[in-house]
Amino acid sequence: MNKLLIISTFLPFYIFSSCEITYDEKIPLFGDLHVHTALSLDAATQGTINRPDDAYRYAMGERISIQPYDENGNALRSSKLSQPLDFMAITDHAELLGEVHLCETSDSVSYNSLTCMVYRNFPKLAYFYMNQRASQSAPLGICGENRELCLEASIEPWQEIINAAEKYNDPKNDCSFTSFIGYEWTGARYSGSNLHRNVIFKNNSVPSKPISFYEATTREDLWDQLNASCTSDCDYVVIPHNSNLSNGLIFEDPELKDYQMISKREPLIEIFQHKGSSECIDENDPYCDFELLSYADFGAKFLGSDDPIPKESFARYALSRGQALKEKNGTNPFKIGFIGSTDTHLAIPGATDEATMPGHGGAGKSLRDKLPKGLPDDIEFNPGGLAVVWAKKNNRDEIFQSLLNKEAYATSGPRYIVRFFAGEDISLNSCNEQDAVIKGYQNGVPMGGTLENITNKPTFFFSAKADANDSNQFISAIQIIKSSFDNGDSVSEIITVHESSDAYDLDLDKCVVNGPMQKNFCGVWRDENHSPNMEASYYLRVISAPTCRWSHQLCMENNNYCEKDQGNIPKFVQERAWTSPIWIEKN
């Protein structure tokens, strides 16, 4: 029988203020790899005027102004992070990058076109029309033959993205901040089924222009064109996001020839962001019902549809499906790690605080002209999440390597610090050993790693620390989610290794939590049910004590507005962290 072997509140973390650390010790770095600025059409038509330079200043701790603006151009709101980020990337949409530039540049050949006049004077209409054309890979007339004008016009904003990343990358030369050059490839299919992916480059060796859905209409085309245009020491990762809105398409079975390429080029997915969770949809797992959207894709959101949401849209399905495909073809194409990010369209990376949720725009509510009487965003959306990596230093090379290795995890916003190791020789006394983390690397693998051909029962060492700067964040439960494939059967199991959910009580009137106030937890668990012929993956899920959801806090101030609009949206949330899985394979 599986059971928790050791528990403790001692946490063997190794955190350093200096960027120089030893080989076995790593630091947790918090970032946002999904950020839109005024260079993106959907952000610009919703009133965002902040550009890449502003987003980087914000990430590093500066206060910036956000829409709406009055008739004199004065902002009615501003925003500031409670803690600066360690790293980030601007990921403006490659699609329409040139079109927006043409319509905003007064001496461009397209400036006085009907399309550009609609863009400047009827932004809501432009938002839907131009985005619809882009999602269908249908060029606009302003782009000329083969989109030559728009491709040429995209060079200047692309260079602005590059220049901003170079300007703010480690500006003090003390490993305090790292920037990455990136963009979003905004593919879609059918009525708006999401195929979106963020492309993050390792360094400043990047293509001369971003490759958009216009040029590459499949993920395979995207990889091929990136490979062809990525020369010298250029390297990249592609990170799918919002699989929850893909109508089951992001994790569709690839061609056999592409199995290895998926593993190499798409090692991670964004499991959580502003537009919901992509972890799971499972009536037998109550924790799956966390920021779970009620529609299957963007088409269903805007056109209305009650089609069921397919399980194939979620990460837990992908983990099981990958194991089944490995059994059949010898390679697992879906060995995916997890990160979170915001997908902000206000150029405010890392703005994940429930208490100060300003909205993030994009597919949500536009605040271009005025502040609404009630909520600043669609009520079903959330403040977004964060990407966390364990890296030796805060620089591009080390963070990028951690992304490739999947030594990364996601949070739904709070800064949880989480460790997860597995091995045959993990000490059962790890929680009481000062060098437990070093031994975890020596005797096993961290999150994102693979154990091959083990002969003993795998042992897992894990620890979690709630956000030290958030007085309402406490650990309520810790679970190991196991997906296994044995004798032709796929099975998912939820192993609760710690739980005190019933001990917490949330005062919804004051938004204050009461209970054991547990900030730290450490444990060791052995899977006694593992068999030599079993292939399995395991990820750790950390659940917080209940806290007030952003919408509830605002609804208390706008009771008449929210009584009719809150619907089935919960008044509280249990924030969480998800580690990248650890895989056990036969060969």
**Mean predicted lDDT score pLDDT of the chain:** 91
0.85 exceeded by pTM:
yes
**pLDDT classification of 563: cutoffs 50, 70, 90:** low
pLDDT in tens, 60-86: 999 999 999 999 999 999 999 999 999
- Check pLDDT > 70 for residue 193: yes
Looking at residue 567, what is its pLDDT?
65
- Which residue, 506, 510, 512, 519, is CA-closest to 476? 519
pLDDT-wise least confident of 16-25, 234-243, 391-400: 16-25
Cis upstream peptide for 68 (omega within 30°): yes
Residue whose C-alpha is closest to residue 550's, from 356, 289, 412: 356
| CA gap 459, 445 in Å, rounded | 11
Write down the pLDDT at residue 554. 87
The pLDDT assigned to 112 comes to 97
Please give the DSSP secondary-structure letter assigned to residue 453.
S
* pLDDT score recorded for residue 17: 40
Give the residue ranges of DSSP H helices in 45-83.
Answer: 52-59
- Measure the CA–CA gap between 559 and 557, rounded to whole angstroms: 6
| Residue range 316-370, pLDDT digits in tens | 999 999 999 998 999 999 999 999 999 999 999 999 999 999 999 998 889 998 8
- pLDDT recorded at residue 21: 45
Q: Is the pLDDT of residue 500 over 50?
A: yes
CATH architecture of 3-94+154-585: Alpha-Beta Barrel (3.20)
Segment 393-413 shows an average pLDDT of 97
pLDDT in tens, 85-124: 999 999 999 999 999 999 999 999 999 999 999 999 999 9
Residues 542, 464 contacting (CB under 8 angstroms): yes
Do the Cβ atoms of 42 and 345 come closer than 8 Å? yes
587 has a pLDDT exceeding 90? no
Determine what percent of the chain is predicted with pLDDT higher than 70: 93
Higher pLDDT, 224 or 301: 224
Torsion angle of C-alpha atoms 452, 447, 243, 397, degrees rounded to 10: -110
Q: How many C-beta atoms lie closer than 10 Å to residue 493's C-beta?
A: 15
User: What's the whole-number mean pLDDT along residues 187-193?
Assistant: 84
Angle at 427 between CA 421 and CA 430, to 5 degrees: 75
Which whole number is the average pLDDT over 382-411? 97
In the chain, domain spans: 3-94+154-585
What average pLDDT does the segment 404-412 reach? 98
What CA–CA distance (Å, rounded) separates 458 from 419?
16
DSSP 8-class letter at 244: G
- How would you classify the pairing of strands 337-340 and 268-273? parallel
pLDDT of 22 above 60: no
d(CA 576, CA 170): 29
The residue among 10 and 415 whose pLDDT is bigger is 415
